[in-house]
Amino acid sequence: MKRTLPLSRLDDDEFRRLTGVLPPTFKAMLRILRKAHRRKKSAGGAPNALSVRKMLLLTLEYLREYRTQFHIAVAYGVGERTAGRTIRWVEDTLVRDGTFSLPGRKELLKSDTDIEVVLIDATESPVQRPKKNSADTTRGRRSGTR
């Protein structure tokens, strides 16, 4: 069994080093997610395998360390698809709330302030690829080959 240090015992700098955010920011994110989770829960469906706090930690770990969703899923004891859905739900919920949204491109271009930080979104996205099937492929002429 893996033993971990409770997050409450970490000072603010250690907490930020671990999660990428300060404790007050983490608590604000958690409030938004819990509120959205209560609304989602009242709509019905199967209960989540993870608490809202663990969902946020899973997402922050993914964004901070950029480990694969498979590795994070194994660490949290859930399936890879569950990890992906969790990350997507947390990100979408926080962006939809507006508290943690970045200004749009037009807004940045209008302002006269210098941009000091550039943020690049390099998250995993599911991609649909066509299945390889001999019936779907077009065969070329073979007269030129020996």
Per-residue model confidence (pLDDT) at position 136: 56
Q: Which residue has the higher pLDDT, 91 or 114?
A: 91
Sole residue written with tokens 């995993």: 124
Distance CA 47, CA 44 (A): 8
- 8 A C-beta contact, residue 135 and residue 142: no
Ranges 8-17, 50-59, 94-103, most confident: 50-59
- 8 A C-beta contact, residue 86 and residue 58: yes
Give the three-state DSSP class for 4.
coil
Write down the pTM of the prediction: 0.65
Per-residue model confidence (pLDDT) at position 80: 92
Sole residue written with tokens 């037009």: 106
Distance CA 95, CA 84 (A): 17
- Summarised one tens digit per residue, pLDDT across range 37-65 is 888 766 666 777 889 999 999 999 998 88
